[in-house]
Structure 1
Amino acid sequence: MRLSNNLVGILNFLTFVLSIPILAGGIWLAHKANTTVCEKFFEKPIIVLGVFLMVVSLLGFIGACFRVNWLLWLYLLVMFLLIVLLFCFTIFAFVVTNKGAGKALEGKGYKEYRLGDYSHWLQKRVNSTKNWKKIKSCLIDGKVCQSLTKENTTTLSQFYAKNLSPIQSGCCKPSDDCGFQYVSPTNWTNPSGTTTFNDSDCSLWSNDQSTLCFNCQSCKAGVLQNVKSDWKKVAIINIICLVFLVIVYSVGCCAFRNNREDNYRWKPYG
């Protein structure tokens, strides 16, 4: 058997083995008794990814090792489409995450975030009531603000020195523009007693630990800042994956050519 066929077979066997725990994890999430809304959001993509990897790896393994030419052709077609889609997604990720950054505040260890600073496509995603309901459930289930209450932060100066994450800054405290009085990291009072603010987020703040600023625009902006940071990392990983897929695709093309040559060599003459 040619070297390229062996390589395609080995790579796809390893991919098949990898797909088993991925698929098992998705099925486990789907049947977990106390599955949260956030976990439900991930179960279907994980199952789809596991099935996809399993099917594609079988196509490549059988096509290369057993010289089934039409399966190998189908495998190469799927690989080509995957390379194109991954390339397009990588470019898209760089474009939609190009805008947006936190505003540094003098004398404070954290930044504040404004929804309008981010791309319109991302804004539209978080402004969707259906999407934000799921995201907010994930934030509440993840207890992103509880870590602040567990730390020994008794004074306002200590709080100002904290290095808050974008989500903690946007969701767990009111905006500095509100002028609220500090009681604890997630407890702030309005000394003026007014209900009219220049920043609409101020009227949405609540000391209720299940509400806080989870309905605020700043919270959505904090989520988008996290998304931006994560997508930048994913885009870099995608570039590495693209290089790997192109190499595998090239080896697969060699295996396909080998199959055709062998089929032609063994074809009986009339």
Structure 2
Amino acid sequence: MGVSNNITAVLNFISLLCSIPIISSGVWLASKADTACVHWLRWPVVLAGVAVLLLSLAGFVGAYWNKSSLLAIYLLSMAALIVTLLILVVLAFVVSHPDGAVSVPGRNFREYRLSGFSPWLRNHITNSENWGKIRACLAESDFCPNLNQKYISAEQFFGAHISPLQASLSLFVICLFCVL
């Protein structure tokens, strides 16, 4: 067995072992109560874990025992997976390209407004069917109580050095759920 097959076999064995926690996480999510957030995550996580397991198994067996048919299936599957991930990354950048950031005087962070994002994302979020799901998911989270424990006053929050993601999510949740 060549060096490249050894490396391929070892890497696929490691990814095979890594698929076990992914599948376990999906099963754990499936065993939780049916909430709006968990409902959308549980089966895709299980399916992703099983796909990684099967792909890793094909790559490991093909590389370890030099089975060219399994290696061909493995390589074609990996190419399809890489192309799919690249398409998803490009789509994410296109959809979120205008970031909606607005500089606000007296704040150590930038505020994010929905009007600054792409029209597709705005329409998708403000669609009444999708917004109901997003609202239910955020309402079930413990974000507001955690935010109230960390920042006692508005001045502490506005003076904090937080990441853009934390700032946008915090302001979004504060405006829509904590005040209502």
Range into which the TM-score falls when normalised by the shorter chain = 0.7 to 0.9
Q: Alpha carbons of 1:146 and 1:54: their partners in 2 closer, same or farther (altered >3 Å)?
A: same
Give the deviation of 1:102 after TM superposition.
2.5
More relative contact order, 1 or 2 (CA 8 Å, 6+ apart): 1
> Is 1:152 matched with 2:131?
no
The structure having more radius of gyration, on CA atoms, is 1
Query: 2 CA distance for matches of 1:21 and 1:158?
Result: 39
The equivalent residue for 2:8 is: 8
Q: Given the alignment of the two structures, is residue 170 of structure 1 paired with residue 175 of structure 2, yes or no?
A: no
Note the C-alpha offset of 1:69: 1.9
- How far did 1:104 drift? 2.3
Gaps of 5+ in 2: none
Describe the shift of the 1:73–1:172 C-alpha distance in structure 2 as closer, same or farther (beyond 3 A): same
CA contact (8 A) 2:19 2:50 kept: yes
Task: Report the equivalent of 1:90.
Answer: 89
- Cα shift at 1:16: 0.7
Q: 1:128 Cα deviation (Å)?
A: 2.8
Total equivalences in the alignment: 175
Distance 1:27 1:94, change over 3 A: same
- Alpha-carbon shift at residue 77 of structure 1 (Å): 0.7
TM-score, normalised relative to structure 1? 0.57
Are the aligned partners of 1:5 and 1:64 in contact in 2 as well (CA < 8 Å)?
A: yes
What's the CA shift for 1:60? 0.8
1:139 equivalenced with 2:141 (yes/no): no
User: 2:78 — aligned with what?
Assistant: 79
| CA 1:10–1:127: 2 relative to 1, 3 Å | same
Contact 1:110 1:169 in 2 (8 A): no
Q: Is the 8 Å Cα contact of residues 29 and 43 (structure 1) preserved in structure 2?
A: yes
Q: Quick one: which amino acid aligns to residue 137 of structure 1?
A: A
The alignment status of 1:104 with 2:103, answered yes or no, reads yes
Deviation at 1:103, TM superposition (A): 2.0
Which amino acid is the alignment partner of residue 29 of structure 2? L
Q: Is the 8 A contact 1:113 1:166 kept in 2?
A: yes
- For the pair 1:70 / 2:66, whether they are aligned, the reply is no
Q: 1:157 offset after TM fit, Å?
A: 5.4
2:28 aligns with 28
Tell me if the contact between 1:99 and 1:118 (Cα under 8 Å) persists in the aligned partners: yes
Q: Distance in 2 between matches of 1:51 and 1:14?
A: 15
Q: Look up the match of 1:252.
A: none
3-state SS of 1:172 partner: helix
1:162: how far off? 5.3
Aligned CA distance change for structure 1 residues 138 and 3 (closer, same or farther; 3 Å): same
TM alignment of 1:53-68, pairs within 5 A? 53-68=52-67
Q: Give the gaps of 5 or more residues in structure 1.
A: 174-204, 213-270
Shift of 1:169: 1.6
Q: Which amino acid aligns with 2:2?
A: R
Q: Is the 8 A contact 1:64 1:72 kept in 2?
A: yes
Cα RMSD for the two superposed structures: 2.5
The code of the aligned residue for 2:23 comes to L
The answer for the alignment partner of 1:240 in structure 2 is none
Amino acid at match of 2:93: F
Q: Are 1:126 and 2:128 matched, yes or no?
A: no
How much does 1:111 deviate? Answer: 4.3
Q: Distance in 2 between matches of 1:37 and 1:112?
A: 27
After superposition, what is the alpha-carbon deviation per residue over 1:142-188, rounded to whole angstroms, capped at 9, x for unaligned? 232223433432xx756654567212223313xxxxxxxxxxxxxxx
Question: Aligned partner of 1:126: which letter?
Answer: I
